A and B are shown apart, each in its own frame.
Chain A
Amino acid sequence: DVKVTQSSRYLVKRTGEKVFLECVQDMDHENMFWYRQDPGLGLRLIYFSYDVKMKEKGDIPEGYSVSREKKERFSLILESASTNQTSMYLCASRLERGAKNIQYFGAGTRLSVL
């Protein structure tokens, strides 16, 4: 079974802090994704990566950056956390772009910015 592991289930940070959310997948998937999920807004794509050292902006990249130095690891960085970044963050991976390929999700990180 594919396993997507997010390093923290819950995080509490202060406004202005630099925050790192880590995600690791164990199935040699090429593509990885970061979404955030908010009540009434659903899931929205922040950033994605096709392969190592590659990154592409999603629908809501403002205030975020990402890093993919190794194939299995995709990090989401909040350069200066703000209260409107309080949310549930979900990481996902997929073998590659294609009609047959399932996107697998981690358990999520609930981030509170105070």
Chain B
Amino acid sequence: KQEVTQIPAALSVPEGENLVLNCSFTDSAIYNLQWFRQDPGKGLTSLLLIQSSQREQTSGRLNASLDKSSGRSTLYIAASQPGDSATYLCAVLNSGGGADGLTFGKGTHLIIQP
């Protein structure tokens, strides 16, 4: 059964720093990996999707990489801002059998200090 782990569980950094969030998964048979942002009490906002055949995706100050063979992904946030404070979730869509939803990690709670 696929398991997704995110490290660290929480992170607090000063404004302006570059930072990396980590995600690992146990089964490399995936269609894609998505990074989401969740603000307190709200739904999930999709940030980036990386297909299994891709190595990275970029959107503005965000860059996500995927190493499928080692079961790892990173989300790089450049020049962090207080508005980046949120919980970041990674999720994979399995290409094997079983239920067809995303398998989620438990998230990294990020605080950017002004």
Q: Which residue numbers of A lie inside 8 Å of B, CB to CB?
A: 4, 6, 31, 33, 35, 40-43, 45, 48, 50, 56-59, 90, 92, 97-100, 102-108, 110
Contact = CB atoms under 8 A, between A and B. Distances in A.
Contacts of A33: 101
B102 interface: yes
Given A100-B51, A102-B49, A42 B104 contact: yes
B44 A105 contact: yes
A59 B106 CA distance: 16
28 contacts: A4-B43, A42-B105, A43-B91, A45-B99, A45-B101, A45-B102, A48-B99, A48-B100, A48-B101, A50-B100, A56-B100, A57-B99, A58-B101, A92-B101, A99-B32, A99-B51, A100-B32, A103-B34, A103-B93, A103-B102, A104-B46, A105-B36, A105-B44, A105-B45, A107-B42, A108-B42, A108-B43, A110-B41
Contact of B34 (A42, A97, A102, A110): A102
Nearest to A40: B106
Interface string B30-57: 0110101000011111100101110000
A59 B94 CA distance: 14
Contacts of A42: 89, 104-107
B21 to A, nearest CB: 15
A42 B100 CA distance: 17
Nearest to B50: A99
A99 B51 CA distance: 5
